[in-house]
Amino acid sequence: MINMSEAAVIALHSMVYIANRKNEIHSLKSVSAFFEISPNHLSKVLQRLVKAGYLISVKGPQGGFKLHEGKENSTLLEIYEVIEGKYTPAKCLFICPTLPEHKCMMEPLVKDMDEIFRKFMTGNTISTLKIQNIT
């Protein structure tokens, strides 16, 4: 019901991780090791967040990524939309040319799930959520 790519999940988790320790520079290696994900995939995701103005890329041997000043109150929906594009709720789970959208028997479920998702994504910022086991 909710379309979320692996890249969007990585972006959300990485931004919360970095925001939890916003005064530090986080190396690609440390973030990828923490989440046990591919550094190459992570790099592509983080570069998109740099390009969108949410992260700063710091060059050099002590380089990495840090939160762009003023972005600590970014909502999860903002980060999601950097990766996935504008969020549009699903109307029906069943695509059938002979069935009008307003006749979808699952419409109440789809609407409820969209409301829960939208409320969570707009009601939480990258700084308000915490990732367990950050030392």
Kindly state the tokens that stand for 129.
């959520």
Structural domains in the chain (count): 1
**CATH number for position 51:** 1.10.10.10
Q: Is residue 130 part of a domain?
A: no
Q: Walk along the chain (135 residues) in steps of 10 and give the mean pLDDT of each run.
A: 88 96 92 95 97 95 93 97 91 68 76 93 95 65
Which pLDDT does position 89 carry in this prediction?
A: 83
Does residue 78 lie within any of the structural domains? yes
Determine the pLDDT at residue 99: 63
- Domain residues for 41? 6-85
- pTM of the complete model: 0.87
